[in-house]
Structure formats: C-alpha cells, structure tokens
Amino acid sequence: MKRIITYGTFDLLHYGHINLLKRAKEQGDYLVVALSTDEFNWSKKQKKCYFSFEKRKQLLEAIRYVDLVIPENAWEQKVTDISLYQIDTFVMGDDWAGKFDFIEEETDAQVVYLPRTPEISTTQIKKDLEHNKLRNINSISC
C-alpha cells in the first residue's frame, strides 16, 4: 500500500482544496492529511481560522479521498510523521515548490508539488467577502 501525506489549514473549504486532495490521493492508496491546529496557525503563522480545528477536521473526514486526519502542531513534525505513518510520498501545492525538498534527503519519501487550482484560494475568498462587506456598508450609508 502506497501512503501519501499532505499538510494544510483547509479553512473555508472550497473546490481547490478538493482538487488538491483528489490529486494527492491519486498518488497512492492511503491519504493522510495533517491539519494545522488553531494554536499552530496562530503562534506560527499569525493566522486565525474562520472554522475551528474540530470543524475543519470534521469537513476533511467527510471527503472520500481522505483516509486519516492528524493534527499539525509544528513545522518540524513532518519528518517524524513520515516515519510514524510509513509515508511514501509527501504532497504539497506548488506554491511551496522547493521548500520541502529536504524531506527527500532526510527520509525515504518522495516529494511531489502539485499545481494549485489557479482561480480559487482561501485568501481570495476572504478578500472578496471583505470587499463585498465594505461595498454593502457604503451602499447603505449613502
């Protein structure tokens, strides 16, 4: 059985996330998703999620491509996770290209960077929602 792992926050789950998870699963038989905890997102990324870790985990577990969801608590856990879960392939979006090449040197896992879905991102959704909110406020005050 070929095991795959990917990491992410998966906040405001959208079809770009689903595309990434589907393509990650196509790399093997068993997909582990390391989901960034709320504490990790805040302390290491200064990022506050819309949905809590538990809600994001529940969403991921409902996706047919995902076999197991584990917490991501630290940047450094990747090498340990690969050993612990007997991972063959480490997958990330290509916006991270080159950042995890060290994994091939420190483990037996292959690193694969998959193209992102270009027209969608959580960051863009948040910007669009904020823009629409401001536009609606301005139209009310006129």
Q: Is 126 a catalytic residue?
A: no
* 81 in Cβ contact with 34 (< 8 Å): yes
Yes or no: say if 35 and 57 are a contact pair by the CB < 8 Å rule.
yes
> Which candidate in 2, 22, 25, 47 is catalytic?
47
Burial label for 18, CB within 10 Å (0-12, 13-18, 19+), is middle
Q: How far is CA 88 from CA 63, 134, 142, in A?
A: 21, 46, 59
Residue 9 is encoded by which pair of tokens?
């926050």
Q: Which of 2, 44, 45, 57 is catalytic?
A: 45
Would residue 47 show up in a list of annotated catalytic residues for this protein? yes
Catalytically active residues are 45, 47
